[in-house]
Amino acid sequence: MPNDNPNTERYITIARACLKAINDTAKNSGDREQKIQAVYQAIDSAFQEEFADYRQSVAIMATVLERIASGQLDGEKAADLARKTLDQQPENTRKTMMH
């Protein structure tokens, strides 16, 4: 993956979590299924952490869109609310692709 891809750091973080889980489970004796589940859990946790800002941003924007769609705001108020919402968006969710 090219270093200029905005998701490179996200993928690296998730890959490191996976490798750590694999290494940790390889050192321990135990049930193979438990080891697999530990790796899956590490992947899921890393993924959830990396995309938490996106989920929060999408939830806020959905609420704003619902207010605009309700028709209770005139055009200027709707545009102002949209601008304010975009300005409050977390920095790492601006102008980046999710995949």
Mean pLDDT over 71-87 rounds to 88
Mean pLDDT over 6-21 rounds to 84
Neighbours of 85 (CB within 10 A): 17
pLDDT digits (tens, 9 = 90+) for 17-68: 888 888 888 877 778 888 888 888 888 998 888 888 888 888 888 988 898 8
Alpha carbons 38 and 18: distance in angstroms, whole number = 9
The reported pTM is: 0.54
